[in-house]
Structure 1
Amino acid sequence: MQGLLPILFASVAGMGHAFEPDHLLAVANLISRRNTLAEALRDGIYWGLGHTTTLVLVGAVILLGRVTFLTSPWFEVAVGVLLVGMGVSRLLEQRRPPAKVRPGAAPSRAAFAVGLLHGLAGSGALVLLVMSEIRSVWVSVLYFAVFGVGSVLGMFIVAGLCSVPFTQRMRISRVVKLSAVTLSSLLCIGYGGWMIWENVRW
């Protein structure tokens, strides 16, 4: 029973991980550029895959080297800088006329890259910390598989929910959509700035 506790933790943490504030803001910022629910959901999946990729790569080092994972506040700082940059970039984009981009190209790659960086911040670090204490290789592999599936599924749900005020299918006015984009961008900048302030030793 004790050996199953990490798996139970992974099943809960994987799904709940997607609902952390920095993840919600990052994904909302990404999908605010999308026009359909399908595109938004695809970005959610790419984010989840990128996030899981980072955890798997670092977890493999822990598993093969049997090293103890140490958390660092600079991971949080990096995510904070990313959020500020995403918020500012989205605000500046509103001033330019919309460009015709091939559906699913650059935005999906951006979602994957953002997920990669988020993998070592927040509860992602906690996941690796728990994993470093597991002695069984097979339990470790199952632990990552369960967390990875939960993370992708959770972000798939988050992307669908966050896309509601942004997609054209909702048939909302341009003013409402503009307000939603501005608010999400300002929240992104504000929360990112708070993460930097809290984790940098001034």
Structure 2
Amino acid sequence: MVSLLSILVLGFFLGMRHATDADHVVALTTIVSRERSLRAAAPIGVIWGIGHTITILVVGGAIILFGIVIPPRIGLTMELSVGFMLILLGGLNLAVSMRNARAIARREAQAHASSTTPHDHAEDAGHHATVARLDRRLGRFGAYRLVRPLLIGVVHGLAGSAAIALLVLGTIRDPLWALGYLVVFGVGTIAGMLLITTALAMSFSYAARRFDRLHGGIGVVSGFLSLAFGAFLVYDIGFVQGLFTSHPQWTPG
């Protein structure tokens, strides 16, 4: 009993360490960099961790309880989804950052302009009012900010669920204790994600309050980083590990 309890405690800290995996940190950085306040950004890590844990419990639980064997091609496809998700996140981040940079440049140009026609003022004000109204209306819905990190966490959980379940099976033979380990591991991941997101959010919110251009630059850098890392994963999984070839080689880990 003491040994099993020790394993569960270890699972919590391994979950926290799992939160620091490169693909997780890149995804979180890309999402959090778009937020301008600690209050809005901090919960993202918890929601991400919940989505990640849901996938681990569903996929890992099926492997533990029913002895499901995942073929290499399916396993690699699950991991490939993370690469595509990072590419999508990076592209969206770059689009938002570029749009915000243009808005900042327009405001600065108007502030320093010697004269502007009334029509120009009205047209630009109308444009910004429309964008602001859309943001406010979408922001009222909890799903607007909850669904995105939840789905990203679910996708990331696909990449690691098989490896975690197989590791548990090699250590804990009792299915109920093995499932308990997955739950504790997931709680540890959520805790780790909360710490990482809070640290990122504090830096980004400070930049947003003090320096508009610096905050925009962080968004651009995180977007490019997400794109590059996602493209690397797609290449590695598709060609090095052989998903796009006739001889896929997959080792869960």
TM-score band, normalised by shorter chain: 0.7 to 0.9
Deviation at 1:90, TM superposition (A): 1.0
Deviation at 1:107, TM superposition (A): 2.3
2:59–2:162 CA contact under 8 A, matched in 1: no
Deviating more after overlay: 77-86 vs 63-72: 63-72
2: CA distance, partners of 1:110 / 1:170: 21
2: CA distance, partners of 1:170 / 1:184: 15
- Identify unmatched segments of 5+ residues in structure 1: none
| 2:96 is equivalent to residue 93 of structure 1 | yes
2: CA distance, partners of 1:119 / 1:26: 13
Q: Which residue of 2 aligns with 1:60?
A: 61
1: CA distance, partners of 2:86 / 2:56: 20
| 2:113 is equivalent to residue 75 of structure 1 | no
Deviation at 1:9, TM superposition (A): 4.5
Q: Which residue of 1 aligns with 2:139?
A: 102
Q: Which residue of 2 aligns with 1:21?
A: 22
| 2:198 is equivalent to residue 195 of structure 1 | no
- Encode CA deviations 1:146-172: one digit per residue, 9 max, x unaligned: 101101000000111111332268622
1: CA distance, partners of 2:165 / 2:39: 31
Q: Which amino acid aligns with 1:129?
A: L
Q: Aligned in 2, Cα 1:6/1:66: closer, same or farther, shift over 3 Å?
A: farther
- Identify unmatched segments of 5+ residues in structure 2: 101-130, 245-253
The answer to which structure has the higher helix fraction is 2
2:36–2:209 CA contact under 8 A, matched in 1: no
| 2:214 is equivalent to residue 176 of structure 1 | yes
Q: Which residue of 2 aligns with 1:145?
A: 183
Secondary structure of residue in 1 paired with 2:99: coil
CA RMSD, 1 decimal: 2.3
| 2:156 is equivalent to residue 113 of structure 1 | no
Deviation at 1:132, TM superposition (A): 3.4
**Structure with bigger gyration radius:** 2
- In the comparison of the two structures, how many residue pairs are matched? 201
1:37–1:160 CA contact under 8 A, matched in 2: yes
2: CA distance, partners of 1:177 / 1:35: 8
